[in-house]
Chain A
Amino acid sequence: MIRSFEKRAEQKISGFQSPAADYLEGRLDIGEKLVIDPHSTFYFQMQGMELQSFGILDGDILITDRSLKPVHGAFVIAFSAGCFTCRVCLLEKNGMVLKNDHDTITETEVDVLQIWGVVTAVCRNLLPKALKQGRYSNVCTL
Chain B
Amino acid sequence: MATLLEAPTATGQRLRRLPKVAWGNPMTYVIAFFFVGVCIAPVLFIILGGFRTNAQITVDPSGLPGPWVLENYVSVLVSDVFWRQVANSAVAGILTTLGVVVLGLMASFVLARYDFRLNGAMYSLFAAGLMFPMTVAITPLYILIRDLGLMNTLGGIVLPQIAFALPVTIIILVPFLRAIPQEIEEAASIDGASRIGFFFRMVVPLSLPGVITVGILAFVASWNSYMLPLFILNDELSYTLPLGVQAFASQYSVDTARVLAFTSLSMIPALIFFSLFERRIVGGLTGAVKG
- The answer to whether A and B come from one shared complex is no
Give the interface of A toward B (CB within 8 A). Answer: none
